[in-house]
Structure 1
Amino acid sequence: MADYRDDRGTVYVERRGMGAGKIIAIIVVLAAIIAAILFATGFWSADVKEGALPDVKVSGGELPKVDVDSKEVVVGTTSTTVDVPKVTTEKESISVPVVGVKDNGEK
């Protein structure tokens, strides 16, 4: 990238090269074109046939019995001492600029 200034002080920025986004977009477009050509020439083919799930009839049966011994999760609070910063404010008188509008006849 280079900066150039003209006689009035206007800065012109010249960027050189391609950004990473443009390069990735070109790669994606090329991949899509190659895939389309491969499908069009028959090198790749997608032979999709209709199908259906099999009919299954289930009768009887019983779920297995499971005995699980797990740990108990205990949640609570405890008292501890930590350093906490305190933020305070105080009033101070300062001079600030004032902007107003005055008619031509007023003083």
Structure 2
Amino acid sequence: MIIAVVAVLVVIAVFAFGLVDIDQTRETALPEVKTEGGQMPAFDVDTADVDVGTTTETVELPKVDVDTTKEEVKVPTVDVEPTE
């Protein structure tokens, strides 16, 4: 039950922050009784561009003798560009 609630909240957050944009591009049409055919709806889905990489930062690291020193380490970066 908790997993279902979390999944719903994630979907709401994705749409609320503009990470996914869905536009219906074609209407639904039901077939007539004496003819063939019909039409399924079409959607144009744009998702956000997410760039994940690393950058070098200076952070304080503890030494064995309880002193700290600054060293450069690679830390992850995330760049999200919402849909337009």
What TM-score, normalized by structure 1, do the two folds share? 0.24
What TM-score, normalized by structure 2, do the two folds share? 0.30
Relative to its length, the structure with more strand (as a share) is 2
* Higher normalized contact order (CA 8 Å, seq sep 6+, divided by chain length): 2
